[in-house]
Structure 1
């Protein structure tokens, strides 16, 4: 039972959520003005500015969601034929494909992989600003659009994106890099759709998120638990989408984190509240770019699922409560994901200072996976969760292992 003080924290977070829910950008982010486009450049604009040519495609899932995926077609520094199979990269919670580029051309994994001549594809999960579309549902009017969590991302989004990349490139298998949620949804796919898991040549998990029993981040734990406790209340008052790009708070944060040294210190402290502090890892330029793209939006239900994962000893599906579980799953408790079904070779990369995906939970996961071929505990003892996307040190600390394993599982 939550204490009175904790309940007041939850209530304050709900009020903040309501404020965050108010948008300052149009609901359809593709219809922004030229001024807004300069403030919020999209993936193609960002990569083009840095000398990379990018293609974009729309992918329709089995349940009707329309997902955006990008392919870096022309690299600035690759002057040979690209390696096969292609590499599909999937982002974390409240992120988008932009997160793979925010660290800049010298550290962003999208740039580093493309420069190393890998055919790089960057997908977007349902509910973020690139994938806020559906064949029949209007996200601005239809509540069922937002009835999803990472469960549906693993069941529908990852398989649809895998199939699209394979069909487009004409190969039988691809390599997959999943960061945090992008890794957890991959494991969910293997459990629910083992046939699709067989289409994977190699899987690299960066701080893979499954259960969060030992999460030490106070900000992440309190916020996620707040959504778990108050999910039904939020949805009853019409709040289904939260923390979307272009919200009032996100816009102010994006502007504030680009001003001066005082604001930079403030933003560093805010980042450390979410994750653990790693001084000198993230540049001011990266912080400015990241706050222009974060948060990228998701559903209340998805955040509630993360709160549930902090009290569960297993990696399991969304818990609707006893009665609804019986209707949805045919049993009182949500089913556990079958991690033994993850048969492709898996490489796991993690840091000891990760506040969101704790070392204990990573090692628990490694013990459950049947085909882990390599594990990298990053040498820097301060390597945290956000570093996997935003650290200027990525090129030296994690990219060599990624490059080594991709080369070992690739060909011309």
Structure 2
């Protein structure tokens, strides 16, 4: 039986770095101002329907007043046999986000509302699939009882809650240069690699010790099975701009070795959080009853094995693990062997939980 998926892709978030989608019927998300997205092209008409998949547009509002546009994607016509599967929310990573928020708001407002909306529409708990920054958001959200009670199970590709062992030269150089602070001081609200500033920054990075002949590997680590002939197609749609605040939040994680809320500084922390330090997200608050599957690779320079192991140790549960020694960060999404190596295993994990009942039971 093909699972139907409510694919929720939030167009205004960022990729480390990928973000959100929801399956069982796939849903894709975009935000409008009050929207965090500036795009006007429908995901359904632009990318999904031309590939032969039925798609419908949905919208909902977050608690902080932003509109989320969701795309509900079903199995292609003629391929769905038997009953529909449960809803699955897919979360992408970095470089699809704007303005004054970070992954903290994306987790506690956006993801929370997407899960609530999907649950309300389907009357079913949600399977969550996240990659990279999508796993940061998921793990943070799952520490909140009112959110996790609507989740049936989660599959986390390249799981991240800690970043202090990343080995990517490109990101390490940006952290060392305090690029995030420079952008804020200069009044930039977003990082857009296709802008004049982004282009100059890339030129500067490539003139240092970063091998821009293999820029993808410099950012993510060596990918074994990525189809390089598709790069131009991907670059037609990526990377989207990212919020400067989101970039700064990620760099705080790298510098401090913490999985915590955004650090505003002592005085503003006291005003916002009621304490001098930004509060940590406590992974031990994720219920042991939540089934979790994780896939990670030996060549991933972003989701380093040491950081993944630290995440696992702080969880109450023992997640199902898939380790692929030759896989890098992008392989888990775009490897030509991903179905055989990753997705079949992940789908078997979800199928083992079968019907999962209503979202709040």
State the TM-score bracket (shorter-chain normalisation): 0.7 to 0.9
d(CA) in 1 for partners of 2:179 and 2:227?
36
Provide TM-score, normalisation by structure 1. Answer: 0.69
Aligned to 1:182: 134
Aligned to 1:167: 120
* Conserved? CA contact 1:180–1:209, under 8 Å: yes
SS at structure 1 position matched to 2:52: coil
SS at structure 1 position matched to 2:87: strand
Provide TM-score, normalisation by structure 2. Answer: 0.78
Using the TM superposition, give the Cα deviation of residue 231 of structure 1 relative to its aligned residue in structure 2, in angstroms. 4.0
Q: Quick one: which of 142, 146, 152 aligns to 1:195?
A: 146
Aligned to 1:111: none
TM alignment of 1:140-151, pairs within 5 A: 146-151=99-104
- Give the superposed CA RMSD: 2.5
Using the TM superposition, give the Cα deviation of residue 43 of structure 1 relative to its aligned residue in structure 2, in angstroms. 5.0
1:224-244 CA-to-partner distances (Å, cap 9, x unmatched) read 454xx3545533443112227
TM alignment of 1:260-409, pairs within 5 A: 269-279=214-224, 281-343=225-287, 344-378=290-324, 381-409=325-353
Aligned to 1:157: 110
**Would the alpha carbon gap of residues 404 and 74 (structure 1) be closer, same or farther in structure 2, given more than 3 Å must change?**
closer
SS at structure 2 position matched to 1:370: coil
Larger % of helix: which? Answer: 1
SS at structure 2 position matched to 1:30: coil
**Would the alpha carbon gap of residues 276 and 373 (structure 1) be closer, same or farther in structure 2, given more than 3 Å must change?**
closer
d(CA) in 1 for partners of 2:189 and 2:197?
17
d(CA) in 1 for partners of 2:341 and 2:227?
16
SS at structure 2 position matched to 1:45: helix
Using the TM superposition, give the Cα deviation of residue 90 of structure 1 relative to its aligned residue in structure 2, in angstroms. 0.6
Using the TM superposition, give the Cα deviation of residue 298 of structure 1 relative to its aligned residue in structure 2, in angstroms. 2.0
1:22-52 CA-to-partner distances (Å, cap 9, x unmatched) read xxxxx94316xxxxxxxxx945322222211
**Would the alpha carbon gap of residues 230 and 285 (structure 1) be closer, same or farther in structure 2, given more than 3 Å must change?**
closer
Using the TM superposition, give the Cα deviation of residue 395 of structure 1 relative to its aligned residue in structure 2, in angstroms. 0.9
**Would the alpha carbon gap of residues 167 and 248 (structure 1) be closer, same or farther in structure 2, given more than 3 Å must change?**
farther
Residue 62 of structure 2 corresponds to residue 52 of structure 1: no
1:209-262 CA-to-partner distances (Å, cap 9, x unmatched) read 211010000112222454xx3545533443112227x646999xxxxxxxxxxx
* Conserved? CA contact 1:177–1:204, under 8 Å: yes
Using the TM superposition, give the Cα deviation of residue 328 of structure 1 relative to its aligned residue in structure 2, in angstroms. 1.6
d(CA) in 1 for partners of 2:84 and 2:101?
35
d(CA) in 1 for partners of 2:216 and 2:350?
31
SS at structure 2 position matched to 1:327: helix
Using the TM superposition, give the Cα deviation of residue 331 of structure 1 relative to its aligned residue in structure 2, in angstroms. 1.6
1:340-384 CA-to-partner distances (Å, cap 9, x unmatched) read 121211111100110111010001001111123301112xx3201
* Conserved? CA contact 2:162–2:307, under 8 Å: yes
TM alignment of 1:72-151, pairs within 5 A: 72-76=73-77, 78-95=79-96, 127=98, 146-151=99-104
Structure 1: gaps (5+ residues):
1-26, 32-40, 96-125, 128-145, 252-265
**Would the alpha carbon gap of residues 162 and 330 (structure 1) be closer, same or farther in structure 2, given more than 3 Å must change?**
same
* Conserved? CA contact 1:207–1:348, under 8 Å: yes
